[in-house]
Amino acid sequence: MSKQVEKRIEKLRDKIREHDYKYYVLFEPTISDLEYDKLVKELEKLEEENPDFVTPDSPTQRVGKDLTKHFKPVQHIIPMLSLANTYNADELYDFDRRVRDGLPKGEKVEYVVEFKIDGASVSLRYVDGYLKTGATRGDGIVGEEITNNVKTIRSIPLKLKKHYSIPYSLSDFEVRGEIFMKINDFFTLNKEREKRGEKLFANPRNFAAGSLKMQDPQIVASRKLNIFVYNIISLKENFDFHFENLKILQRLGFNVNNEYKLCKNLDEVLKYYEDLETKRSSLEFEVDGAVVKVNSLRQQKILGSIAKSPRWAVAFKFKAKQAITKLNKIIWQVGRIGTITPVAELEPVFLAGSTISRATLHNIDEIKRKDIREGDKVIIEKGGDVIPKVVSVVLNERSKNIKAPKPPDKCPVCGSIIFKPENEVAYYCENTECPAQVRGRLEHFSARGAMDIEGLGEALINLFVNINFLRTYADIYDLKNQREELINIERLGEKSVDNLLTAIEASKKQPFPKVLFALGIRYVGVGAAKKLADHFLSIDKLMQASEEEITAVHEIGPSISKSVKKFFSDKHNIDIINRLKKQGLVFESERMVVKGNFFTDKTFVITGTLENFSREEVGDKIVAYGGKVTSSVSSKTDYLLVGENAGSKLNKAKSLGVKTLSEKDFIKELDKLK
């Protein structure tokens, strides 16, 4: 009898999975909702009577009842990089030129073009055909586990379909995609919230991203989220082409947006981009452009990536949507490094999925160039469909008595005298204790991509700055000494304070690259912080490095090196770092370096295109074996590693008598270390 029950349970599961696929992926239901509900209820009843037969992949297990109080970190097997943007055909031709320059001479390049879905990026790991974990993008290197929440999305298979035409075993792999909400579902949701007097959500993308971080999966299940997947990654299988991978994903039962095409050349890319843009207004979901990817995965590997984005893919943005509204007032904001920026306060207007009431004006020169004045009717658009900006003024509707604005002569927050550096358009407040700067630095320091101090958000930071509890980010770690005073603050209470202090203490475990990013050094983003931390291994070595040594780090330019040296030359900053050291923050990277080999204590420069590695991979291997990689050839260079199409660096190496190393010889030296 139990065998018959088990067979019936498995048959019901297969039927429900198939109908889920037809409904949520193909949008072609073949049975009524009533018939579907009967299948689910029968399965639920059988599983309730036979709990030993319940498995994690059962359709009844999509919505868990347990709350997720902590989202564990998940390391992506390959970083989830963001894409560089292009906005016109000339920029796309530049991308194509860079791709061809980075490949062996004469190689043909094919591109795959697909919609750029405006959603929340996730990665899904499958082991032996079953969903193992789901994770957010995070900082691109480490995300947060959201398995319980992604399981509630019915277009995500818990168990993969078997497809015998797939030439891979795929026992362990990662799928990447965009979680989104349909536009009509989003508008319906906001109308219901408006009727109840609740705060409206800004746009479908933010709503989807926020839903994935909710603690209760039953609430997530009630929200009509969907997914389009766009990539498959495996460390065990060698895939050949991106276009084929999209087909494989579809055969496995994943929801892949059907609007993708293999293009033989850039003319075909541009033509298909135009086709996609004409379809944009009729779509059920938000898109903000097309993604252009090199089809060959071998070529992708050769091209590699820079700190933030791959060299083999680019986002080709659609023309921004525009609207006309009134500019009520120009206000001046102060950023965390003292930059004073004009912002337009607008009559609220709905544009590209959200209501806009503010827009950036960039700087005073931009205001003068566009002749923008308070009281004007202005045309606004979302730059890259994200940041609202004022494009131009409707001059024929301007009143005669409207005067041109002037920049402030004092800081609008602290009243200090402001200054404008030579060759810059921005004005700055130099008072490092200006409350606006303090708030900005504290928000940056405690943000998720930096120290990740949960609970220390904008409202609490404003409160603590106003009552003089926080002046620098080192003060955060002294809040534990003021616990009783914190508890007595209205609306905080003992539990909230203890949760905050626990989060502050937990942040001390953040790795050195994140701590370095959190310091808020100008131009040092997440990618640059990781490269500097990986190269110098400690804050002390970075502080002691010369500007030339910092610039020599792969993909670290002179703007970053100047900014780093300026930051560490300020005694106030050094004092704060010393306080943070005493509090136990991590200011060193632990990395095993294998010494006593060919690479130890030698300096290498890389030039040309390598067949088996990206330049980043080569650099990592050299550093791991005790060597050093710099960007320019000098008399101190020990070896120039030469790939195909080597340029001026090879000539300079010859003139200086620097030894050269072929990729073949490089591999031989690596093989000796195995």
Q: What kind of architecture, by CATH, is found in domain 512-582?
A: Orthogonal Bundle (1.10)
Low-confidence ranges of the chain (pLDDT < 70): 1, 23-27, 33, 63-70, 163-169, 198-199, 307, 352-353, 383-386, 591-595, 674
CB 276 within 8 A of CB 261: no
Closest to 341 in 3D by CA, of 462, 435, 425: 425
Query: How high is the pLDDT of residue 195?
Result: 73
Closest to 148 in 3D by CA, of 222, 205, 195, 213: 213
Q: Which CATH class is domain 75-317?
A: alpha beta
Query: How high is the pLDDT of residue 383?
Result: 57
Query: How high is the pLDDT of residue 338?
Result: 87
Q: What is the CATH number of domain 322-400?
A: 2.40.50.140
- Residue ranges covered by each domain of the chain: 2-60, 75-317, 322-400, 432-509, 512-582, 603-672
Which tokens go with 587? 């200011």
What is the DSSP pairing of strand 287-294 with strand 225-233? unpaired
Query: How high is the pLDDT of residue 165?
Result: 59
Query: How high is the pLDDT of residue 124?
Result: 94
> Is the domain 432-509 a CATH 1.10.150.20 member?
yes
Distance CA 400, CA 391 (A): 21
Burial class (CB in 10 A: 0-12, 13-18, 19+), 196: exposed
Query: How high is the pLDDT of residue 177?
Result: 95
Q: Render 101-120 in DSSP notation, one character per residue.
A: HTS-TT----EEEEEEE-SE
Residues marked active site are found at 116
Query: How high is the pLDDT of residue 32?
Result: 77
Query: How high is the pLDDT of residue 162?
Result: 73
Which tokens go with 15? 């039927």
Q: What is the CATH number of domain 2-60?
A: 1.10.287.610
Fold matches, 432-509 and 512-582? yes
Correct CATH for 603-672 of 3.40.50.10190, 3.40.50.2300, 3.20.20.140, 3.40.50.620: 3.40.50.10190
Q: Which residues of 88-122 are buried (b: 16+ CB within 10 A; e: fewer)?
A: eeeebeebbeebeebbeeeeebbbbbbbbbbbbbb
- Phi/psi for 261 (5° steps) reads -150, 145
